[in-house]
Amino acid sequence: MDISIVIPLLNEQESLRELHDWIAEIMQSNRLSYEILFIDDGSTDGSWNIIAELSAENSTVKGIRFFRNYGKSQALHAGFRIARGKVVITMDADLQDNPEEIPELYRMITKEGYDLVSGWKKKRYDAVLTKNIPSKLFNWAARKTSGLKLHDFNCGLKAYKNAVIKNIEVYGEMHRYIPVLAKNAGFAKIEEKVVQHQARKYGKTKFGAERFINGFLDLITIWFLSRFGKRPMHLFGALGVLMFLIGFLAAGFIGAEKLYKLYNGQPTILITQNPWFFIALSTMIIGSQLFLAGFLGEIVLRTKTKNDRYKVSDTINLNQGEEADKKTTSQVRPN
């Protein structure tokens, strides 16, 4: 199979049939074999009924439905686990991503050898103050932190080699940083492509201003995990030892100073009346706690087990292997 198209969605019943027909037209005109994976992230409207109707009409349509809303990252994770295409395309269900970009994205992966191609919505049709300006600031911070020279980390339209999506784990709200996850996994050939952005045709956006706050917090998390996620002792242990030594040497200096004054008959005060003694003591205590945090982090890394992250309530048109995979993901993991 040439392409798997993974589409996470939440309450997008008005756009699903139009999006499906548009994709099918593009795929057939370019003679590409494909599957469309709709991941219903707990919709409360008629989205799942539309997916069921589309699947009955076209065997290339498959669906997964969550019991409740778990978030875009969990939806992408579910789609990635069952995607079978040589190239995997992700796009949003709100018709703001243009399916006509798919053939060129496919060509860049298969002919030019890129591991991942990220869309860049250079011209946007969003509100300037609430979306455009915060998005530019967010992308600037992501570039500086990750070292990837991408202009639009959060663009939903992306293309991947199948090996990429099988070797990364999208969790929490890390869908914004899939290129960073891919880079950290060893996939270095990452490029971007200017894509057409379209104004929302139906409904309203599911994301508020809080996504930028969460985005920056996630950016800090992924930076930390990429640097120290597999070796927490290198950070916490080093800081702990450094602080403990500083406190220990400071306490030693205070004690030596008192002994020197006593020996020379100079006036002195009790060590416990010296404010620097308590600063030194606090520094040693904090250093010990940091060292223990690193030690405990190492233990957790070596004993942790993988838990699954969402409950699937229903599926459409999955084969037996995919059904078995779905059953292995039917436990819930807190976000």
Provide the residue ranges of all domains of the chain, joining segments of one domain with +. 3-228+307-328, 232-303
Rounded to two decimals, what is the model's pTM? 0.72
pLDDT at 51 over 90: yes
Superfamily assignment of 3-228+307-328 in CATH?
A: Spore Coat Polysaccharide Biosynthesis Protein SpsA; Chain A (3.90.550.10)
Please give the C-alpha separations between residue 49 and each of 52, 93, 126, in angstroms, as whole numbers. 5, 15, 30
pLDDT at 124 over 80: no
**Res 311: pLDDT:** 67
Tokens at residue 186, please? 């060893």
More confident residue, 127 or 143: 143
- Lowest mean pLDDT: which of 105-119, 305-319, 321-335? 321-335
For the chain, percent of residues with pLDDT exceeding 70? 85
How far apart are the C-alpha atoms of 92 and 179, rounded to whole Å?
17
pLDDT (tens digit per residue) in 9-42: 999 999 999 999 999 999 999 999 999 999 999 9
Beta carbons within 8 Å of 77's beta carbon, 6+ residues apart: 169, 170, 171, 309, 310
pLDDT band for 177, please (50, 70, 90 cuts). confident
Coil, strand, or helix at residue 224? helix
pLDDT band for 324, please (50, 70, 90 cuts). very low
Beta carbons within 8 Å of 192's beta carbon, 6+ residues apart: 117, 118, 119, 120, 150, 151, 152
